[in-house]
Amino acid sequence: MTATVHGFQTQVTKLLDLLANSLYSNKEVFLRELISNASDAIDKLHFMSLTNPDLIKDDPNFKIQIKADKDAKTLTITDNGIGMTLDEANSHLGTIAESGTEAFMKNLTGDAKRDSQLIGQFGVGFYSSFIVADKVTVISRSVNASEAEGVRWESEGNGTFTSENVAVPFRGTQIILHIKDSETEFLDTWKLRDCITKYSDHISTPVELYEEKYEPAPEAKEGETPKEPEKKFEYTQVNNAQALWTRAPKDIKDEEYNEFYKHLSHDYQDPLAHAHNKVEGDLEYTSLLYIPKQAPWDLYNRQTEHGLKLYVQRVFIMDKAEAFLPNYLRFVKGLVDTNALPLNVSRELLQETAVTRKLKKALTKRVLSMIGNLAKDKDKYTEFYKQFGNVLKEGPVEDYDNKDAILKLLRFASTNNSGSDLSVSFDDYISRMKEGQDKIYYITAESYEAALNSPYLENLKSKGIEVLLMWERIDEWLMGNITEYAGKQFVSANSQDLQLGKLAGEEEKKQQETVASENKDLVERFKKTLGDKVKDVVVSTRLVDSPSCVISDASRMMTMQMRRLLEASGQKLPDEKYTLELNPTHKLVQKAFAQTDDAKFAQYAQLIYEQALLADQGALKDPSSFVKAMNALLTE
Ligand code: ADP
Ligand code: MG
């Protein structure tokens, strides 16, 4: 059979071009990727062999072997894992499926220098071979295939690859790298030993390097010239092949945790934090959890699989087991190893067992306390919060049991701060509450600026009451679903009844009543003129600098933000009518009221009403009519 020529998926070609031309500074990572793939392939077969031991009876000892040939200039990485069929090789080595790579491609700018830095942030897996090789040959045989159904795949990394069935006498995969002339240091055993130790010490499969074994030369007899020692090569195990998480945490260095994270998560960056725990007692388990530095691009994609790696008695069972953590912690990577589940546990079974529920509860607590620890370091927490703050906000609603613990971790901007940074916790807020204040005031708007400058805040600001400023879409939803924290009720500054309570003061209340009765005529005139455009017109108790604002019916619980959210999702909503609040001390309102000509007054009324709508919603249904009215009055 002759080999078939295939074109790579377009993204792969782009990626390969970039790899070939990049000034990639950390070339040796190709070895980590290939060892990682070999180890994954062995884990998969190990798992299958639990129920079908015959699969490995010919070659039962799992191992990864690495051999350099200086004459042929090849570096060969061999594993006796699950192997690939021809179809699998064509699709797995010809397309990019892994999410990280997908994200990488999206982030490419075309600027070679920037792009090559980006490689450092995303995994490119198998294709990293082309950093050091100008040709890669893959020989493989799937565990399910006969000798004749072996595969030979080859590419020079230039847009095409060839593949064909060939006879392969062994199970597993052999990656043969034809090393570039500029990269021959990767043919030196000392260099290889160095890299292997660095990247594979934590891998539970033995990694063996083909090395020269020193044999002393036979003693020379009297009068004879001493003989050159004979050169002998053999495979020697380089890594200690003990799964990292089974070792005592105190003996593990941070770098080891970080390297293991990269193997486990296919992330190229170090994690932000890790937690390694061995728990004894009625439910024995070990967990190793990581918080990544960067959110994956598909964090909000419902279809994306996520979850921990599951091991039972140190045997890899499954990837992305989502049953161990709630959805709002889906960014956490890591593994759990327990003796309390059967080796043949299925995904379905996992969902239902009490062991899973107990583990989920414990692991959730652990992650929340990890995040709590991060919060002690302000800079680190800011870094974390930028990436994952909005996901965390799903928590108080999804996980009622941990509601308060999660709320404690949330951060917001506030009128107390001079910038938009998210640094104020509910606890901070409570510690600064005014005497007599028993509510937590917040406002949701389109942006930080809109929140900060909202007319709804004027009265609260004038009283020196802090207001939390929120502008993320999820904030509206979150605040609509929780009512209190630490016994303090949340009150939206947008709501009609601001519930100032004791803060308003008796005198102020009386004054408001007086103001209302004094301005009866004003209110009536606006009402008559605006007609059914508005729901009602009232005299405001909160406006200080602005002439007017609009409020939606608090009892309907649908604030403007929520409306926009629903409209954006394609729902048709009936037009909502608002109550117009007037500030009778404002010059514009007074000027309007002074108009004796009703037509003129109507223009003022329209302007005062529509500018309130505009301030609140950032847009008007009929902006040109607004502009017309405004120009008419300006050019008077
Ligand atoms: P990833 O490991 O993130 O899936 P890679 O680019 O490293 O991405 O590998 C692509 C795919 O090729 C793997 O998912 C696997 O299916 C297949 N593969 C790579 N190396 C091996 C191997 N040594 N044995 C079996 N399959 C492999
Ligand atoms: Mg890989």
Nearest to 151 by CA among 94, 208, 209, 71: 94
pLDDT of residue 343: 83
The answer, yes or no, to whether any atom of ligand 1 lies below 6 A from the CB of 79, is yes
DSSP-derived secondary structure letter, 210: E
Percent of the chain clearing pLDDT 70 (strictly above): 89
Enumerate residues 6+ apart whose C-beta is below 8 A from 507: none
Whether residue 63 is predicted with pLDDT greater than 60 in this model: the reply is: yes
Contact 364, 399 (CB under 8 A): yes
Phi then psi dihedrals of residue 501, to 5 deg:
55, -130
**Residues 389, 410: Cα–Cα separation, whole Å:** 7
Q: What is the pLDDT of residue 263?
A: 87
User: From ligand 2's centre to the CA of 284, what distance in Å?
Assistant: 30
Closest-CA residue, ligand 1 atom 5, reads: 125
End-to-end C-alpha distance for the chain, whole angstroms: 90
Cα separation, 483 vs 201, in Å, equals 50
Over 31-73, what HEC string results? HHHHHHHHHHHHHHHHHHHHHCHHHHCCCCCCCEEEEEECCCC
484 has pLDDT over 60 = yes
Query: pLDDT per residue over 460-476, tens digit each?
Result: 888 899 999 999 989 98
In a 10 Å sphere around its CB, with 0-12 CB exposed, 13-18 middle and 19+ buried, how is residue 202 labelled? Answer: buried
- Which strands sit side by side in the sheet containing 273-279, from one edge to the other? 273-279, 285-291, 333-338, 308-312, 315-321
Beta bridge partners, 233, equal: 212
Ligand 1 contact, 86 CB (< 6 A): no
Q: Which residue has the tokens 């509910």?
A: 426
Answer for the pair 38, 204: CB distance below 8 angstroms, yes or no: no
Side chain identity at residue 393, one-letter code: K
Two structure tokens written together for 519: 């301005």
Q: What is the pLDDT of residue 323?
A: 94
- What pLDDT, on the 0 to 100 scale, is given for residue 192? 96
- What amino acid is encoded at 208 in this protein? E
In angstroms, rounded to a whole number, what is the distance separating the alpha carbons of residues 160 and 13? 8
398 within ligand 1 shell (Cβ under 6 A): no
- Find where tokens 């990727």 sit: 33
> pLDDT-derived band of residue 75, with 50, 70 and 90 as boundaries?
very high
pLDDT at res. 504: 63
For residue 494, name the pLDDT band (cuts at 50, 70, 90).
confident
> Cα(162)–Cα(44) distance, rounded to whole angstroms?
26
Residue range 131-170, pLDDT digits in tens: 899 999 999 999 999 999 999 999 998 889 999 999 999 9
What is the pLDDT at residue 557? 45
Q: What is the pLDDT of residue 553?
A: 58
Decide if pLDDT at 219 tops 90: no
Taking alpha carbons only, the member of 495, 582, 480, 570 closest to residue 541 is 582
Q: Please give the mean pLDDT across all residues of the chain.
A: 88
Q: Is the CB of 125 under 6 A from ligand 1?
A: yes
Specify whether the CB–CB gap between 195 and 28 falls below 8 A. yes
Q: How confident is the model at residue 356 (pLDDT cuts 50, 70, 90)?
A: very high
Q: Which of 12, 40, 177 to mutate to test the pocket of ligand 1 (most atoms within 8 A of CB)?
A: 40
Q: Output the residue whose Cα is nearest ligand 1's atom 1.
A: 125
CA 62 – CA 319 distance, rounded (Å)? 20
Q: Is 81 in the pocket of ligand 1 (CB under 6 A)?
A: yes
Under a CB-based contact definition with an 8 Å cutoff, are residues 268 and 107 in contact?
A: no
Ligand nearest to the CA of 101: 1
Print the SS3 string covering 592-607: HHCCCCHHHHHHHHHH
Q: Which of 92-96, 142-146, 502-506, 561-565 has the highest mean pLDDT?
A: 142-146
Average pLDDT over residues 188-217: 88
Residue whose CA is closest, atom 14 of ligand 1?
A: 92
* CA pair distance 183, 358, nearest whole angstrom: 51
Alpha-carbon span 183 to 75, nearest angstrom: 11
Distance CA 579, CA 534 (A): 6
Q: Ligand 1 in contact with 29 (CB < 6 A)?
A: no
Residue 207 zone, left/alpha/beta (φ > 0; ψ -120 to 50; rest) = beta
Chain center to CA of 287: 20
Regarding the beta carbon of 98 and ligand 1, being less than 6 Å apart is answered yes
Which tokens in the block code for residue 554? 């608090």
User: Domains of the chain by range and CATH?
Assistant: 4-217+227-237 (3.30.565.10), 244-374 (3.30.230.80), 411-503 (3.40.50.11260), 519-634 (1.20.120.790)
DSSP-assigned letter for residue 170: S
The residues, any chain, with a CB within 8 Å of residue 126's CB and separated by 6 or more, are: 33, 34, 37, 92, 93
Q: Residue 215 pLDDT more than 80?
A: no
The 8-class DSSP code of residue 565 comes to H
In this predicted structure, the answer to whether residue 76 has a pLDDT above a threshold of 60 is yes
* Residue-level pLDDT at 503: 63
Q: What is the pLDDT of residue 555?
A: 39
At residue 602 the predicted structure's pLDDT band, cuts being 50, 70 and 90, is: very high
Alpha-carbon distance of 389 to 290, in angstroms, equals 16
CA distance 14 to 173: 26
pLDDT in tens, 615-631: 877 788 889 999 998 99
CA atoms of 322 and 148, how far apart (whole Å)? 39
What would the pLDDT profile of 409-447 be if each residue is shown by its tens digit? Answer: 999 999 999 899 999 999 999 999 998 899 999 999 888
C-alpha distances (whole Å) from 599 to each of 67, 406, 524, 604, 629 are 92, 56, 16, 9, 11
CA neighbor of 196 nearest in space, from 151, 141, 240? 240
- Whether 115 has a pLDDT exceeding 60, the answer reads yes
Which residues of 292-356 form beta strands (DSSP E)? Answer: 308-312, 315-321, 333-338
